[in-house]
Structure 1
Amino acid sequence: MNSLLIFLLLFVGIPLFELYFLIEVGSEIGALPTIFFTIFTAVLGGFLVRMQGFTTALRVRDAMERGEVPAVEMMEGVMLLVCGILLLLPGFFTDAFGFVCLIPQARRGLILWVLKRSQIIQPVHGGGQQQDDQPARSGRVIEGEFKRDEK
């Protein structure tokens, strides 16, 4: 897909669609309830993003204390940032997508789907069992020790 078309869809199409939907909802329930509902979803979303952001930061810290790389937790932090931006934007569809991404299982599933689709992680073939005579990766692994000579 052409990147210009994606840019046009994201930055022109979605706001126009949101504006149309806000006008339609406003004509059905009134302008003040529509404005109140839009502000309420932004405040509630900001509060939920803040709570989950602190939780994610604690999980990152715990993983780093264990000596692990908190890759998925860092991606969740980025996803929470995107959710916060979507929830602050006025509109019902961006709010709906933002609230769906606040569900931890949905957020983690979306992150794993993106990582698999972008070839960053690949599923393990053969039931996940590794034979002792097979290397961990397709490349050659040479084990050993080294000593650095300082001159």
Structure 2
Amino acid sequence: MRAFLLLFLLFPVLELYVFFKVSTAIGFFPALLLIIAGSMLGVLVVRVAGLATALKARESLNRGELPAQQMLEGLMLALGGGLLVLPGFISDVAGLLLLFPPVRRFLVYRLRKRAEEQALRQRAFADEFDPVVRPGTHKPLGREPNVIEGEFEHRDK
């Protein structure tokens, strides 16, 4: 949490520093035009990526598949477009990187792998408390279910 707060506070300072360096190298107005062009490209990418992702997801659903890959790639495209909309050169470079398909696929692969590992870890932890008797064992794992023993008598009218 502290790292995120530090990054949140440090990021605008870094963006201003890079803008200052670029504007001294190429001039203020060309640097400003680059930032405006990057923002316009970001808006365009967000609009097109959203529509394309929705269409790909609909095709996947029509085939009976889960559109996880398309949704994650669409999320990466939207994130890239959002970074392009932010004013600054650092965010523009990060946004442009997310627009390249190999970078997007690599990040989606890493995200899915991490999510699967997390799910496996949670499932393994949950199995320790599963009260079901496993085949080949005589006692349930974890705590035993609540059982109330008693006698009953069935009466018909």
Return the TM-score normalized by structure 1: 0.70
Q: Corresponding residue for 2:61?
A: 64
Secondary structure, in 3 states, of the residue corresponding to 2:65? coil
Pairs within 5 Å for 1:10-49: 11-49=8-46
One-letter amino acid of the counterpart of residue 93, structure 1: I
Number of aligned pairs? 121
Per-residue deviation, 1:48: 3.0
1:81 paired with 2:84, answer no
Per-residue deviation, 1:104: 2.2
- Unaligned ranges ≥5, structure 1: 123-138, 141-151
CA distance in 2, matches of 1:121, 1:69: 17
One-letter amino acid of the counterpart of residue 94, structure 2: F
CA distance in 2, matches of 1:62, 1:117: 26
- Unaligned ranges ≥5, structure 2: 121-133, 136-157
Question: By percentage of residues, which structure has more helix?
Answer: 2
What fraction of aligned residue pairs are identical, expressed as a percent? 39
Pairs within 5 Å for 1:96-115: 96-115=93-112
Per-residue deviation, 1:86: 0.6
Kindly indicate whether the alpha-carbon contact (under 8 Å) linking 2:38 and 2:84 is maintained by their aligned counterparts in 1.
Answer: yes
Larger radius of gyration: 2
Per-residue deviation, 1:84: 1.9
Kindly indicate whether the alpha-carbon contact (under 8 Å) linking 2:19 and 2:88 is maintained by their aligned counterparts in 1.
Answer: yes
One-letter amino acid of the counterpart of residue 6, structure 2: L
CA RMSD of aligned residues (A): 2.2
